[in-house]
Structure 1
Amino acid sequence: MNYTLESAELTIAVNPIGMELSSIKSKLTGVEYMWQADPTIWKGQAPVLFPIVGALKDGYTLINVEKYEMPKHGLVRNSSKPELIKQTDNCLSFRLTWDQETLQHYPFKFQLEISFILSGKTLEIKHQITNLDNVPMPYFLGGHPAFNCPLLPGEIYEDYRIQFPQQETDSTWLIDEQGLIKNEPKPFIENSNIIPLSKDLFDDDALIFKHLKSKEATLSHKEKGAILTVKFDDFDYLGIWAKPAAPYVCIEPWLGIADSSDSNHEFTKKEGLSLVEPNQSETKSYSIIVV
């Protein structure tokens, strides 16, 4: 059963399985902004990436010389274990806590709480990562929200673009057949704030940006203007992705990225690592703002 929140402008829904955002709908127009998970194309909507982002080389990592296997994007996606812990007029909060099964894949006693806070046309997605262990806990975290694109009948994918508030010059990083990051930056955006969308844009997988100055990205229509903005002040990397020729686009704030193709498997040597001290918490948020 999905849980819902309403403001005067929007209705949102969250699937407790994976603590996954599943709907953002305008109450005025009835327009659905979230991709609705056609399983013949891609069954995800907004998976939570924790405690890794992307793939591990050969499907495993080394933590204190022990080998741990973990699926792509970690342990939260598709998990039926999260529990609803708070429901108010404007907030839904869910919690996933370590257990003996998670320790087999990630040997830390963690607690992950995700709160969905709706105010007007702004949805804040707040992640609280708590270390319940007696040793420092390394982790990675990412969002993966997918938005319908095109949004309305009669539009085409090429009508849309991703826009940044600042002029950007950055490369994207190529991905190999195993989903690992090659050490090959590819110049992509040069003194521009626009990425035009096209059906072949993601033929080589996601666009991965490490050095953007902007901390927000807007999905916009070239004639109708801005549709929605993802703000990600707490996140260092940005992924933009869709399956080739699919009618959606993901705008993905990340803390950390997939393993590099020359990884030595050491978890604590992965790029973008975050660390929580024993019995401490960190909070990381991003927001989706409908224009």
Structure 2
Amino acid sequence: MTTLENDYLRIDIQWKGAELASIYDKTTETEHLWQANPDVWPWHGPNLFPVVGGCLNNQIVVDGNRYPMERHGFARHSTFDLTDSSETVARFSLRANESTLAAYPYQFNYEIWYELEDRLLKVAYRVTNEDDQPIYFSVGAHPAFNVPFYPDETYEDYYLEFELDEPLERHLLSKEGFFTGETQAVHIHNRRLPLTQDLFAQDALVFKNLSSRQVTIRSINHDQIVSVSFLPFNYLGIWAKPGAPFVCIEPWLGCADTEGRLVDIREKEAIQRVDPGQLFEAAFIVGISPHDAQ
């Protein structure tokens, strides 16, 4: 476990998956990250690579060859190397190896950089192409935030506030987690989407065309907030296990497959490409603060 800390926040990161394990607000003595109860959902905030979501037949196709690929990819189960650390910075690396090559036939260096500054945590994904051909991949985040923040509140006291007042359209998923091609309007009022126990009865809310670049968890009772800013991420998932006391805000550059449409990795929706020797980078920011500190 690696710990970052300043006057406001303490951040714990596991080496397995380079996964966030704690976002603790020292000023309010509040843990904001879901603590991975295995009886409910056994993750805190997995990092998704080299795919986001499910792949048809649990496979990817590269140059006509099929490779086994589990939902959300193998990075969350992999042990990363800690390549740099200080009181407020930690950098982790996962390089191609015998195990990854059996599922994903590319040479790469996948890095996750955590940087703590005041009440903000920046999480950056960097993918370096170490192959002699273009590589194709997706990246994404899956952090789960505790809701409610405090024991005297309920889940229904909370809502998600979108940066912009815009029409929302979710892309529906099958029971197996693949896109069906159908969409459904999601109604919000004054940028607010109330959190309710049945909001995720039909699986995640997946948005592909948001103009908003920030979503904030707010309570009707106080000004303490958790915000997620995701400027370069064009897809967003919002999910919780129905009835569980958390909500996931998930910036993605990639998404699940569509039913009945198995394609080469080059043609996967929202796939990213990096040429030999080149670097890809995208970052999102988690903010923990009272409203007047924003």
TM beyond 0.5 = yes
Q: Which residue of 2 aligns with 1:153?
A: 151
SS at 2:156 equivalent: helix
Q: 1:179 aligns with which of 173, 177, 180?
A: 177
Contact preservation (8 Å) 1:168, 1:189: no
The letter for the 1-side match of 2:195 is L
Q: 1:170 aligns with which of 160, 168, 171?
A: 168
Deviations 1:105-146 (A, max 9, x none): 111101011111000100000111111001111110100000
Q: Determine the C-alpha separation between the residues in 1 that align with 2:169 and 2:260.
A: 19
SS at 1:166 equivalent: coil
Map of 1:55-70 to 2, 5 A cutoff?
Answer: 55-70=54-69
Q: Determine the C-alpha separation between the residues in 2 that align with 1:255 and 1:163.
A: 22
Percent of aligned positions that are identical: 37
The letter for the 2-side match of 1:194 is R
Map of 1:108-119 to 2, 5 A cutoff?
Answer: 108-119=106-117
Determine whether 1:275 maps to 2:269: no
SS at 1:208 equivalent: strand
Q: Which residue of 2 aligns with 1:19?
A: 18
SS at 2:167 equivalent: strand
With over 3 angstroms needed to count, the CA separation of the structure-2 counterparts of 1:190 and 1:31, relative to structure 1, is closer
Map of 1:190-269 to 2, 5 A cutoff?
Answer: 192-269=190-267
Q: Which residue of 2 aligns with 1:285?
A: 283
The letter for the 1-side match of 2:84 is K
Q: Which residue of 1 aligns with 2:292?
A: none
How many Å apart are 1:190 and its aligned residue? 5.8
The letter for the 1-side match of 2:21 is S
Deviations 1:230-268 (A, max 9, x none): 000111011000100100000000001100113123211
The letter for the 1-side match of 2:235 is Y
Q: 1:89 aligns with which of 76, 87, 90?
A: 87
Deviations 1:33-92 (A, max 9, x none): 000000000001100000100000111121100001101000101212x11010112101
> Gapped runs of 5+ residues in structure 2?
290-294
Contact preservation (8 Å) 1:137, 1:277: yes
Contact preservation (8 Å) 1:125, 1:286: yes
Contact preservation (8 Å) 1:169, 1:192: no
Once structures 1 and 2 are overlaid, which stretch shifts more, 262-271 or 29-38? 262-271
Q: Determine the C-alpha separation between the residues in 2 that align with 1:146 and 1:278.
A: 34
Q: Determine the C-alpha separation between the residues in 2 that align with 1:195 and 1:140.
A: 28
SS at 2:57 equivalent: helix
Q: Which residue of 2 aligns with 1:133?
A: 131
Deviations 1:138-191 (A, max 9, x none): 110100000000110111110111101210212111111211111001111367
> Gapped runs of 5+ residues in structure 1?
none
How many Å apart are 1:282 and its aligned residue? 1.0
With over 3 angstroms needed to count, the CA separation of the structure-2 counterparts of 1:170 and 1:233, relative to structure 1, is same
Q: Which residue of 2 aligns with 1:30?
A: 29
Contact preservation (8 Å) 1:169, 1:191: no
Q: Determine the C-alpha separation between the residues in 2 that align with 1:169 and 1:191.
A: 10
The letter for the 2-side match of 1:114 is I
Q: Determine the C-alpha separation between the residues in 2 that align with 1:52 and 1:229.
A: 25
Q: Which residue of 2 aligns with 1:74?
A: 73
The letter for the 2-side match of 1:193 is R
Aligned length: 289
Q: Determine the C-alpha separation between the residues in 1 that align with 2:181 and 2:220.
A: 34
Q: Determine the C-alpha separation between the residues in 2 that align with 1:27 and 1:192.
A: 31
Q: Determine the C-alpha separation between the residues in 2 that align with 1:195 and 1:123.
A: 24
